[in-house]
């Protein structure tokens, strides 16, 4: 069990905090307003090792742990949860290639993914297959040395602005056993993109549908054997859930810090806001919840690193708890700002908008409860 960071972990966290403060935070509101995808800044982060955090070092990865990644993504999210979240998605897609790809595949794609010269999207969700991901219908029919793809993916982060699509497709029959994973060049003929979705938050990264219309993808681009794609997707999501939880905590920590600073300056009824005991108690509860969620995240990350048999359940638990806490703390911070919290210039309303989707993506928090409940019930038999 780990209750304190060692010197190396502190250095990693502080590096990411400094990068967020200098390169991300000053621009986050503008990126949100302009719907700007800050690829140049993300590539700067990659020069510090954040493009392939837990990718093996023989292909240029940083070979760090999931625990390290949790520290990094929380730190980056103090500057902008949206930007941090996309870097986490890129890392998740890259890890799938590292973990399940052949040596030739790893050497082909990962060196440029680690530098973010190439940027990757993760493609699982479809218009009719969200929480029920095993029901996906995008079909890949083998034709000699290629697959011919037809179907549609929905809510794909970075789509249209990324180079590679790590996509789950149906190569066999119904159910999870018929799913395979393909790495697809984003400019392949027959791969088309929908309009950039108009969203509540996460505006600093594009979100589009991806349509496959007789798109031909080499069989050599398949990760592993046919039929293990669902397993690959779910393994990726264990880490993805930790990452998005970390992003929630980073955004919420910034919101809490902004609320504390505001309460020192704002006066009502002749007193500073931080002199009212009721508001002091609210601040205390926000800090307690954040610290509890952070401790839970660390435990789940450590479990995933050591391949604990309960790691999937712990990742689901941490995601449900941490993303709910993150949103609620940010929402309370907005409330403590009163009417000013509703104004974009204070930066709180953006954090609230960005963190809301974390309770939905990487598996909704209802699905997190289902994962936990199934594990508990199976263990009771």
* Residue 65 located in a structural domain: yes
Q: What is the pLDDT of residue 20?
A: 98
Answer with the one of 92, 119, 146 that is the final residue of a domain: 119
Give the pair of three-digit tokens for residue 182: 């393909």
Q: What is the pLDDT of residue 85?
A: 98
Q: What is the pLDDT of residue 151?
A: 98
Residues 183, 250: one domain? no
Catalytic residue from among 34, 126, 362, 366 = 362
The CA-atom distances, in angstroms, between 14 and each of 75, 76, 261 are 8, 10, 21
The question of whether 345 is a catalytic residue gets the answer no
Please name the helix (run of DSSP H) or strand (run of DSSP E) that holds residue 200, with its range, or none.
none
Q: What is the pLDDT of residue 148?
A: 98
How crowded is residue 284: how many other Cβ atoms within 10 Å of its Cβ? Answer: 10
Residues 357, 242: one domain? yes
Answer with the one of 192, 225, 258 that is the final residue of a domain: 225
Q: Residue 16: which of 59, 39, 47 has the closest Cα? A: 47
Q: Residue 17: which of 61, 68, 71 has the closest Cα? A: 71
Residues 298, 240: one domain? yes
Tell me, what CATH number does 196's domain have? 2.40.110.10
Q: What is the pLDDT of residue 372?
A: 97
Residues 111, 127: one domain? no
Beta bridge partners of 149: 140, 215
Residues 306, 252: one domain? yes
Query: Which range of residues forms the domain containing residue 170?
Result: 121-225
Domain count, the chain: 3
Residues 344, 248: one domain? yes
* Residue 2 located in a structural domain: no
Q: Residue 97: which of 83, 111, 117 has the closest Cα? A: 111
* Residue 164 located in a structural domain: yes
Tens digit of each residue's pLDDT, the chain (381 residues) = 567 899 999 999 999 999 999 999 999 999 999 999 999 999 999 999 999 999 999 999 999 999 999 999 999 999 999 999 999 999 999 999 999 999 999 999 999 999 999 999 999 999 999 889 999 999 999 999 999 999 999 999 999 999 999 999 999 999 999 999 999 999 999 999 999 999 999 999 999 999 999 999 999 999 999 999 999 999 999 999 999 999 999 999 999 999 999 999 999 999 999 999 999 999 999 999 999 999 999 999 999 999 999 999 999 999 999 999 999 999 999 999 999 999 999 999 999 999 999 999 999 999 999 999 999 998 765
Q: With beta carbons less than 8 A apart as the criterion, state whether 69 and 19 touch.
A: no
Residues 234, 333: one domain? yes
* Residue 374 located in a structural domain: yes
Answer with the one of 187, 206, 225 that is the final residue of a domain: 225
Residues 192, 252: one domain? no
Tell me, what CATH number does 113's domain have? 1.10.540.10
Residues 21, 82: one domain? yes
* Residue 113 located in a structural domain: yes
Residues 248, 340: one domain? yes
Residues 154, 276: one domain? no
Q: What is the pLDDT of residue 319?
A: 98
Q: Cα 174 vs. chain centroid, distance in angstroms?
A: 28
* Residue 1 located in a structural domain: no
Residues 242, 373: one domain? yes
Tell me, what CATH number does 360's domain have? 1.20.140.10
């Amino acid at each position: 069990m780990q209750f304190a960071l060692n010197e190396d972990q502190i250095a990693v966290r502080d590096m990411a905090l400094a990068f967020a403060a200098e390169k991300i935070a000053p621009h986050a509101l503008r990126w949100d307003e302009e719907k700007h995808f800050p690829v140049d800044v993300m590539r700067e982060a990659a020069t510090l090792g954040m493009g392939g955090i837990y990718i093996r070092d023989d292909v240029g990865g940083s070979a760090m742990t999931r625990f390290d990644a949790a520290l990094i993504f929380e730190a980056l999210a103090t500057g902008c949860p949206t930007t941090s979240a996309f870097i986490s998605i890129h890392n998740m897609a890259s890890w799938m290639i590292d973990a399940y790809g052949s040596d030739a595949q790893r050497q082909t794609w990962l060196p440029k993914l680690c530098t973010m010269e190439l940027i990757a999207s993760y493609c699982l969700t479809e218009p009719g297959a969200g929480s029920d991901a095993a029901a996906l219908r995008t079909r890949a029919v083998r034709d000699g040395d290629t697959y011919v793809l037809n179907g549609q993916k929905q809510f794909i982060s970075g789509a249209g602005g990324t180079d590679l699509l790590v996509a789950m497709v149906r190569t066999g029959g119904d159910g999870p056993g018929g799913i395979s994973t393909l790495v697809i060049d984003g400019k392949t003929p027959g791969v088309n993109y929908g309009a950039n979705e108009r969203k509540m938050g996460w505006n600093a990264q594009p979100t589009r549908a991806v349509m496959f219309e007789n798109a031909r993808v080499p069989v050599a681009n398949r990760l592993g054997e046919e039929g293990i794609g669902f397993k690959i997707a779910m393994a990726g999501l264990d880490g993805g859930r930790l990452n998005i939880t970390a992003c929630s905590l980073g955004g919420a920590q910034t919101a809490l810090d902004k609320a504390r600073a505001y309460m020192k300056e704002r006066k009502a009824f002749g007193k500073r806001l931080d002199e009212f005991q009721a508001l002091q108690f609210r601040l205390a509860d926000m800090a307690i919840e954040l610290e509890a969620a952070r401790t839970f995240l660390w435990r789940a990350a450590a479990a995933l690193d050591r391949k604990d048999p309960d790691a999937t359940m712990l990742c689901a638990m941490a995601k449900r708890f941490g993303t709910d806490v993150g949103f609620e703390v940010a929402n309370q911070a907005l409330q403590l700002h009163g009417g000013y919290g509703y104004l974009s210039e204070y930066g709180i309303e953006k954090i609230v908008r960005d963190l809301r989707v974390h309770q939905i993506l990487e598996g909704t928090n209802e699905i997190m409860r289902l994962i936990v409940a199934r594990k508990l019930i199976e263990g009771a038999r």
